[in-house]
Amino acid sequence: LSAASEIPKEDDRPKWDNKFQYILSCIGFAVGLGNVWRFPYLCQIHGGGAFLIPYFIALLFEGIPLLHLELALGQYLRKGSIGAWNTISPYLGGVGVGSWMVSVLVSLYYNTVLTWVMWYFINSFQEPLPWSVCPLNENRTGFKEECHESTAVNYFWYRKTLNITPDIAESGKLQWWLVLCLAACWLIVYLCTIRGIETTGKAIYVTAIFPYLVLTIFLIQGLTLPGATEGLIYLFTPNLNILKNPRVWLDAATQIFFSLSLAFGGLIAFASYNPTKNDCEKDAVTVAIVNSMTSLYASIPVFSVLGFKATTAYWDCLDRNIVNIINEFDLPEESIMRQNYTSWISFLNSSYPEKIAGLKLKSCDLQEFLDQSVSGTGLAFIVFTQAIILMPGSQAWAILFFIMLFSLGLSSMFGNIEGVFTPLLELQIIPKSAPKELLSGIICLISFLIALSFTLGSGSYWIDIFDRYAASVPLLVIAFFEVIGVVYIYKIKRFSKDVEWMTGRKLNLYWHIAWRFISPLLLLIVFMAFVTLQMQKTPSYTAWNPKYEGFPMKEEKVYPPWVQAICVLLAALPGMCVPLVALFHLVKEKRRSKDPSFVPPEVFSCQAANS
């Protein structure tokens, strides 16, 4: 019987205190910053409510099957990613190594994003908020030019936080305030992951639940803001024509994939601490649905606030025009209000067209302000911070918002670190007698030292590179090999028996179809489409350059060749681990088989003698 040989004895492997901790950890890992700042953006640019259709189809055929696969794998084999894949087949060990590598790369840059969040958090205690006013120039006659030409919020982000250089080749110096915050962030990560799931299991109660509380508070407050309804209507109005664009389907598939944090090895590690008789099918469906619901739930306050910001900007535009007109024509104050602005304009335009033309009034269009869509760090650190200034009691909102972002990111960091920690623990890098605290300390220290490079002046350009290349293509490759490996090398019949043994009921036809055909096919299509799109244009980036003529627009620049080489390396290396490790084993086998005195190990390995 296949099940016999692989169940290890009940050993001193750490376990979850209770099922809820495990589910919460998986949810915390899946729910991250992307749910707040990427999903609403995608909804907005891809036809509002219509985007939900490809999103849920991708969830059904790609997200849930892959998630179930990983959780079942980890729970059954009770090992981290490297150990698990080595158990399935030494030729597939590369999949585990690849996941481990991606977890390392992502941990490095993800914590730097949390550093930025922490920096904004500790600056939120100041009155007035430091990103609401421009600093004065030397002779105090006006504001600093860089700040005056863009906005105070932009200035605070690009100059006071990042101190960004105008080009990626210029590294600049280490920004000491960011180094301090980075040290604090890695210390927090160390504090929470010091004994593996023993400590993260306690910390997750706070970091996974707190964001929901804050989102609810923001939801209630956001809905009371003027202009919130415009934002929500704009977000959710479906534009079904958009479904004809294949880009929409690609974005939905990649969003589901990255949002569920698949192929990092962290989920396998989490599941490996479970008792074997646990219903992983129900867990997978639960985690996937909670993740998607959180994305939807988060987009409501985000869009209320964005609607509020657009409305305020629209009113500001109108007010500025009104003041200009009143000053020019010396009309009494409050004679022109926002409501009768259009009638006044038409009247004045007919009577004094030259004067009106001379004023160079900006055309104010609410739709235009709503159309300005931003995702990622731009949403959190520029758009949202600007909206927070306009709310009464800005400090409190800023503090709440940044603590929420920090918790979201921290719970995802736990999964990343677990994906690095568990395999290393199993490989016994440090002697068994040494405490676990030492290994987690070493991991955090080395990561901190490497991540210092992200606190340089050009750091944020590098983080963009890591985000675009290290955390995208390799994951698709690894996930593809995961599915193929389990279904065709470990054999689906054997795997379904294992899952049935764990869950206690027969595997639904849906899983068979999804694992055998739909998921691998979808992954292949998504991977090829993704790579094709990336290769269509030379990789470029936008740089913040105060000396650029189009300033405050960002300057479009092409990556220098050495940077492009690094991009390719980042994207290719984790994926290359799979064939490289397989090749390595093949060579080792060939060399062994040439030795006549050596008995081939296949006789003893159950993997060869199976159904």
Partner 1 sequence: MLRALLLTLSVVAIAHAELCKPDAQNAFKVRISIKTALGDNAYAWDANEEYLFKAMVAFAMRRYSSKSTTQISNVLLCNVTDRVSFWFVVTDSSKNVTTVPGSEVEAAIRMNRNRINNAFLLSDKTLQFLKITSTLSPPVEPSTPVWLIVFGVVLCLIVAGIVFLVVSGIQKHKKKNKDSTERENLEEKVEVTLENGIPCEALDLKAGHINGVFAADDERFTSL
Hey, what's the torsion of the CAs at 43, 45, 50, 52, to 10 degrees?
-30
Site string for partner 1, 75-104 (x = CB under 8 A): ------------------------------
Q: Does 595 bind partner 1 (CB under 8 A)?
A: no
Q: Does 122 bind partner 1 (CB under 8 A)?
A: yes
184 vs 219 by CB, closer to partner 1: 184
Q: Which of these ranges, 104-112, 190-198, 264-272, 376-384, lies near partner 1 under the rule CB under 8 A?
A: 190-198
Q: Indicate the residue type of 27.
A: I
CA distance 76 to 86: 14
Q: Which residues contact 239 (CB under 8 A, 6 or more apart)?
A: 47, 48, 50
Check if the beta carbon of residue 176 is closer than 8 Å to that of residue 182: no
178 vs 463 by CB, closer to partner 1: 178
Q: Does 141 bind partner 1 (CB under 8 A)?
A: yes
CA distance 280 to 511: 13
Q: Which of 334, 354, 549, 595 binds partner 1 (CB under 8 A)?
A: 334
Smallest separation (angstroms) from partner 1 to the CB of 33: 20
What DSSP element (H or E) covers 415? Answer: helix 394-427
Q: Indicate the residue type of 103.
A: S
Kindly provide the b/e burial profile for residues 356-380, where b requires at least 16 CB atoms within 10 angstroms of the residue's own CB. Answer: beebebeebebeebbeeebbebebb
Smallest separation (angstroms) from partner 1 to the CB of 436: 8
Q: Which residue has the tokens 């006659």?
A: 141
Tokens representing 44 are 């907005």
35 vs 132 by CB, closer to partner 1: 132
Q: Which of residues 238-267 bind partner 1 (CB under 8 A)?
A: none
- From the list 134, 297, 150, the residue with the least C-alpha distance to 217 is 297
Hey, what's the torsion of the CAs at 356, 359, 364, 368, to 10 degrees?
120
Ligand-binding annotation for 35, yes or no, is yes
Q: Does 507 bind partner 1 (CB under 8 A)?
A: no
Ligand-binding annotation for 30, yes or no, is yes
Smallest separation (angstroms) from partner 1 to the CB of 275: 12
Q: Does 190 bind partner 1 (CB under 8 A)?
A: yes
CB atoms closer than 10 angstroms to residue 334? 8
126 vs 540 by CB, closer to partner 1: 126
Q: CB-based burial of residue 464 (10 Å sphere; 0-12 exposed, 13-18 middle, 19+ buried)?
A: middle
How does strand 555-558 pair with strand 540-543? antiparallel
Smallest separation (angstroms) from partner 1 to the CB of 282: 21
Check if the beta carbon of residue 535 is closer than 8 Å to that of residue 311: no
Ligand-binding annotation for 408, yes or no, is yes
Q: Does 12 bind partner 1 (CB under 8 A)?
A: no
Q: Which of 49, 145, 149, 191 binds partner 1 (CB under 8 A)?
A: 191
Q: Does 15 bind partner 1 (CB under 8 A)?
A: no
Q: Does 3 bind partner 1 (CB under 8 A)?
A: yes
Ligand-binding annotation for 412, yes or no, is yes
What are the residues binding partner 1 (CB under 8 A)?
1, 3-4, 7, 10, 118-119, 122-123, 125-126, 128, 133, 135-136, 140-143, 177, 180-181, 184, 187-188, 190-191, 194-195, 199, 276, 326-327, 330-334, 435, 437, 501
Q: Which residues are annotated as a binding site?
A: 28, 30-31, 35, 259, 291, 408, 412
Q: Which residues are annotated as a binding site for Na(+)?
A: 28, 30-31, 35, 259, 291, 408, 412
